[in-house]
Amino acid sequence: MLENMEQFDYEKVIEEFEELTKDVGRVQIETLKWILEENREAEYLQNLGLNGRTDPESFKACVPLVTHKDLESYIQRIADGDDSPILTGKPITTISLSSGTTQGRPKFVPFNEELMRTTIRIYETSFAFRNREFPVGNGKALQLIYSSKQFKTKGGLAAGTATTNVFRSQQFKKTLESIRSQCCSPDEVIFGPDFHQSLYCHLLCGLIYRDEVELVSSTFAHSIVFAFRTFEQVWEELCDDIRTGVLSNRIAVPSIRTALSKLLKPNPELADLIHNKCSGLSNWYGLIPELFPNVKYIYGIMTGSMEPYLKKLRHYAGGLPLLSSDYGSSEGWIAANVNPRLPPESATFAVLPDIGYFEFIPLREKEDQSLDITAVSYSFTEAEPIGLAEVKIGEEYEIILTNFAGLYRYRLGDVVKVVGFHNSTPELQFVCRRNLLLNINIDKNTEKDLQLAVETAGKLLLEEKVEVIDFTSHVDLSTDPGHYVIFWELSNGVSDAQILNECCNCLDRSFVDAGYVSSRKVNGIGALELRVVRRGTFQKILDHYLGLGSAVSQFKTPRCVGQSNNTVLQILCNNVVNKYFSTAFC
């Protein structure tokens, strides 16, 4: 996000953060007290017997650890119109929808003005540290952001994705007006009803203001890569629009056409400049700085499931820095990136100790003697959670969140590693989603393991000048024994089928989890299967989620598709063009 420098004192924000993180134990106690006092009338808390107590010991003794499933009935009552104090003292006014890519369907999550406040805090904190390292002036930002439609629940509450609720919030518009005013694109584009039309117009607006653009950003790295892959297909049409001053017929939304007509004027000189630059690029390397010569950096969430897109994003970025934005979830924010010079693969996030109450379940390694081997894997036991001030460097934990919007001791399902401290607050690295595991018997391969396997096997395609555009996985238990299925979408066809056979073997060998390797050797897990799908298959998956009400700015490709996500699995299976089975363990 880009701030108006006359209104934003980033040094003051940094000073406040430094003071806040000197004694996180004290701040956490005060934050928990604040949350519980605000919500002391809530039915949920009263039924648990807290009786007004706000100390951490009573809280942990009375309030159980929960998942979303445990709270669904309470949240549904709120969505259906019950405005009594159910989870919070004050009524919930908005419902957020999760992306739905993990479980196959969006979850309802309570959202209120307190969560809006923490969103602003995160933006301000990360911007302050970012601007100290990479100063920007009063130029513009090409923000590839999209707001999906809000709808009304049965009880009349506004519901939409978390990003949509942020973009449409009056508090956001009032407090961060200077941020939004710097965006190249008018609101009609951001809030447009059709993603593809909005994307085209984002690119067009960026080109119109090309000399003023100082940063390129989106919520996720995937959205930036997708935007410039699209640019490769439509750049000549964009040049025609700029040359003639007439917007393409592909834009059919009247409000967008009206808004763009105020910006788009005939500019043959600019059209020729862009045309010459695009014609002269080799394989689109360095496309972003060629189009926008004054860009300082590229910004968005680039960790976790976004890491597979970094190679392509660096290709487009040339030598521009990639800065990973902050760490949060649909349920709430957790930490800010206060070390923006770190590459995305090493990004760390410092917990803001006053935006929620945080606990951490230690994850211990265990030995599994099944099949006469030792398999080291995550042991997701009910270990006693510890506080923010008690975590240790080098240890991995599952995060427990208590926030201001009615989630108490809520298991996010994220596994993080403590890699350091900023004053006394821990700096976290995201490891994986706990429930995104490829698992048949004693094998436990995480999303990161899958990513590394795909990266290793994908290198075999370099001589063919083919790249893996996107990928996902599935555990197929319809066979005996069950086996892993990896789906690949490729940039081009591969002339030699033997290369893809080698890729399949390489994928199989690249899963180095001891439980997997031993199971493969004794046929406890069947041969890995590589399925190559048609170009555009993952676009169909994106369109599916958009149809469910998700926003592109919140979309993450599901990396493990289970049977419960039957529609996505059918999209993948219906678009398979080739299958290969591994012989690596034969």
Digit-by-digit pLDDT tens for the chain (586 residues) are 444 444 667 789 999 999 999 999 999 999 999 999 999 999 999 999 888 899 999 999 999 999 999 999 999 998 888 889 999 988 888 887 775 555 556 688 888 888 888 888 888 899 899 989 998 877 899 999 887 666 778 877 777 666 666 666 666 555 445 444 478 999 899 888 888 999 999 999 999 999 999 999 998 898 899 999 999 999 999 999 999 999 999 999 999 999 999 999 999 999 999 999 999 888 899 999 999 999 999 999 998 878 888 999 999 999 999 999 999 888 889 999 999 999 999 999 999 999 999 999 998 755 444 433 333 344 445 578 999 999 999 999 999 999 999 999 999 888 899 999 999 999 999 887 776 678 887 778 888 889 899 999 999 998 888 899 999 999 998 888 889 999 999 988 887 889 999 999 999 999 988 888 888 888 888 999 999 999 999 989 988 887 776 667 667 788 888 877 788 999 999 999 999 999 988 7
Q: Are 183 and 141 in contact (CB under 8 A)?
A: yes
Q: Could you tell me if 185 and 200 are in contact, meaning their C-beta atoms sit under 8 angstroms apart?
A: no
Task: List Cβ neighbours of 339 (8 Å cut-off, separation of 6 or more).
Answer: 129, 347, 348, 350, 427
Q: What's the half-sphere exposure (Cβ side, CA atoms, 13 Å) at 102?
A: 20
Beta-bridge partners for 410: 66, 401
Q: Where are the beta strands (DSSP E) in 423-482?
A: 425-433, 468-476
pLDDT, tens digit, 9 for 90 and up, residues 240-299: 999 999 999 999 999 999 999 999 999 999 999 999 999 988 889 999 999 999 999 999
- 215 — alpha (psi -120 to 50), left (phi > 0) or beta? beta
d(CA 415, CA 399): 7
**pTM exceeds 0.85 for this model:** no
